[in-house]
C-alpha cells in the first residue's frame, strides 16, 4: 500500500494472499449461529472445522452467494431457515476487503501512526515503523515528503525495510517521473505495476539479499 | 529498558499506571493520555483484525517506532497490559505472560479488597510490580552498558 501525505490510499497491490475457504455439509438445525445483516451472512458463534467467527457465507450447494442473495436470485436466509432444504452444503470464507474498506483502513492507519509518536516516552520519536502480530508483520516507511509505504508480510520475513526502500526507488523512477501523474492522486501507471510485480517475484524466489 | 506500564480493563478504564524512566512527558494529564492510549489500542485492534490475511488467535501484538516499542497483551477476559520498552528488547511476550500469572493473579485477583473494574490502590501490588519489573533483564538494560 502507498498512502499519500494527506492519508489517502493512492496505490494498493495484493500479492499472493492465501484464501481460506471451508465447505461442509450441514444438517438441520445448524450448529453455527449466523447473523444476517444487509450485505452479508456472517458467522457469530460456533467455531468448528476451520470455520470461525467472522467468516462469511460464500456458496450454498455450490451456487455462489452474492451478499444475501444467491446467484439465481433466491434469498439465502430463506433457504437456510427452511428445514426441507437440508442437508445443505455451505461454503464459508474470510471476508475479502473491498476497495472502499481498504481506503478506510488506510485512513485508520494514519492517526494510529501519529498518536504512536505522541504517546512515545522518548522525545523526537517517529511514528509506527513496524507492527507485528502473530499472523502478519506490517512495515511502514515514511519518506521525507510524508508519503508512507506500507508493506504487509509474513512475520518470519526479514529485510523488509530494504524492500520498502527499493519500492520507494521504483516509485521515484516510474511515478514521479511520469508527466501524466499528479501528486496525491491514485497511481495508475503500468510501468510501475509491472516493475513492482517483478520485484516482488524476485524477492519471493531468492530473498531480499538478491536486490 | 522499560519506560512505563498501563493496565486497562475491558471497558477501557485505566486500572493501573506506573512509569520508570520516561524522558518525554506528553503535555496532557495522565487520564487524558490513558484515554488516548486506549483509543489507539482499540482502533489498532480492529485495524489488525481487518487487515490480517488469516484469522488471529492470540491477543498479543507490538509495534516499533525508531525510539521505542509498545507491547500489548490482551487476555481473553478483555484485560489489556500495555508496556513501553526500548526497541532492542525481545521476548517481552513471555515476560508479560509471567507478569500476568505471578503478579496480577497473585496480588490483585486473590486480594478481596481489590474490587473488579476499579483502579488498583493496593500498596503490595505496587511494590511487587515495581520489584518484578526492576528484577527483569529488560529494565535499565541498554542505558547501563
| Residue at which a domain ends, from A63, A93, A123 | A93
Q: With beta carbons under 8 A apart, name residues in chain A contacting B40.
A: 112, 115-116, 119
Q: What is the CATH classification number for the domain harbouring A53?
A: 2.30.42.40
Q: With beta carbons under 8 A apart, name residues in chain A contacting B51.
A: 97, 105, 136, 138, 152
Contact with chain B for residue A42, Cβ under 8 A? no
The confidence band for B139, taking pLDDT boundaries of 50, 70 and 90, is low
- Domain co-membership, A115 together with A128: yes
Is there a contact between A95 and A56 (Cβ–Cβ < 8 Å)? yes
Domain that residue A147 falls in = 2-17+98-210
- Domain co-membership, A201 together with A125: yes
Q: Which residues are CB-neighbours of A102 under 8 A, at least 6 positions away?
A: A1, A9, A12
Using the Cα atoms of residue B52, residue A4, residue B87 and residue B69 in order, give the sign of their dihedral: negative
- Predicted confidence (pLDDT) at residue B145 exceeds the cutoff of 60: no
Structure ipTM over 0.85, yes or no: no
Alpha carbon distances (Å) from A104 to A70, A108, B40, B63 = 28, 6, 16, 21
- Domain co-membership, A79 together with A117: no
How far apart are alpha carbons B23 and B65 in whole angstroms?
A: 15
What is the distance in angstroms between the CA of the first residue and the CA of the last residue of chain A?
20
* Number of domains chain A is built from: 2
pLDDT digits (tens, 9 = 90+) for A151-203: 888 777 777 888 888 888 888 887 777 777 776 777 777 888 888 888 888 87
- Domain co-membership, A102 together with A86: no
Could you list the pLDDT tens digit for every one of the 211 residues in chain A? Answer: 777 776 677 777 776 565 667 777 777 777 777 777 767 777 777 777 667 777 777 777 777 777 777 777 777 777 777 777 777 778 777 777 777 888 888 888 888 888 887 777 777 777 788 888 877 888 888 888 778 888 888 777 777 888 888 888 888 887 777 777 776 777 777 888 888 888 888 877 776 666 5
Alpha carbon of B29: minimum distance to chain A alpha carbons (Å)? 12
Q: Which of A75, A72, A70, A81 lies closest to A34 in space, CA to CA?
A: A81
Q: What is the CATH classification number for the domain harbouring B88?
A: 3.30.450.70
Alpha carbon of B85: minimum distance to chain A alpha carbons (Å)? 9
User: What is the residue whose three cell numbers read 485477583?
Assistant: B109
Is there a contact between A199 and A211 (Cβ–Cβ < 8 Å)? yes
In this structure, the dihedral spanned by the alpha carbons of residues B65, B70, B71 and B74, taken in order and rounded to 10 degrees, is -120
Q: Which of B84, B80, B99, B82 lies closest to B22 in space, CA to CA?
A: B84
| Residue at which a domain ends, from A74, A93, A112 | A93
User: Would the pTM count as exceeding 0.90?
Assistant: no
Nearest Cα residue in chain B from A127: B65
Amino acid at each position: 500500500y502507498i498512502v499519500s501525505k494527506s492519508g489517502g490510499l493512492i496505490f494498493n497491490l495484493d500479492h499472493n494472499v492465501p484464501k481460506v475457504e471451508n465447505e461442509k455439509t450441514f444438517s438441520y438445525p445448524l450448529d453455527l449461529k449466523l447473523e444476517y445483516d444487509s450485505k452479508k451472512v456472517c458467522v457469530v458463534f460456533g467455531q468448528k472445522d476451520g470455520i470461525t467467527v467472522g467468516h462469511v457465507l460464500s456458496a450454498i450447494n455450490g451456487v455462489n452467494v452474492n451478499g444475501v442473495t444467491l446467484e439465481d436470485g433466491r434469498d439465502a436466509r430463506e433457504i437456510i431457515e427452511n428445514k426441507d432444504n437440508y442437508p445443505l452444503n455451505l461454503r464459508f470464507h474470510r471476508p475479502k476487503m473491498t476497495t472502499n474498506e481498504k481506503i478506510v483502513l488506510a485512513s485508520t492507519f494514519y492517526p494510529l501512526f501519529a498518536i504512536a509518536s505522541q504517546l512515545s516516552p522518548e522525545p523526537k520519536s517517529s511514528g509506527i515503523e513496524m507492527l507485528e502480530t502473530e499472523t502478519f508483520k506490517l512495515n511502514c516507511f515514511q519518506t521525507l515528503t510524508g508519503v508512507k509505504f506500507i508493506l504487509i508480510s509474513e512475520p518470519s520475513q526479514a529485510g523488509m525495510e530494504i524492500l520498502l526502500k527499493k519500492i520507494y526507488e521504483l516509485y521515484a523512477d516510474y511515478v514521479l517521473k511520469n508527466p501524466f501523474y499528479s501528486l496525491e492522486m491514485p497511481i495508475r501507471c503500468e510501468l510501475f505495476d509491472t516493475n513492482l510485480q517483478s520485484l516482488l517475484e524476485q524477492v519471493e524466489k531468492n530473498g531480499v539479499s538478491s536486490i | 529498558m522499560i519506560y512505563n506500564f498501563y493496565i486497562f480493563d475491558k471497558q477501557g478504564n485505566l486500572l493501573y499506571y506506573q512509569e520508570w524512566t520516561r524522558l518525554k512527558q506528553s503535555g496532557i494529564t495522565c487520564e487524558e493520555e490513558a484515554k488516548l492510549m486506549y483509543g489507539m489500542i482499540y482502533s489498532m485492534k480492529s485495524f489488525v483484525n481487518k487487515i490480517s490475511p488469516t484469522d488471529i488467535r492470540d491477543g498479543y501484538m507490538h509495534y516499533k517506532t525508531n525510539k521505542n516499542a509498545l507491547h500489548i497483551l490482551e487476555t481473553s477476559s478483555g484485560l489489556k497490559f500495555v508496556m513501553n520498552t526500548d526497541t532492542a528488547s525481545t521476548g517481552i511476550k513471555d515476560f508479560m505472560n509471567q507478569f500476568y500469572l505471578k503478579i496480577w493473579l497473585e496480588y490483585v485477583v486473590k486480594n478481596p479488597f481489590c474490587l473488579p473494574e476499579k483502579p488498583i490502590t493496593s500498596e503490595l501490588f505496587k511494590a511487587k510490580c515495581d520489584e518484578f519489573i526492576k528484577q527483569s533483564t529488560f529494565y535499565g538494560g541498554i542505558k547501563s552498558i
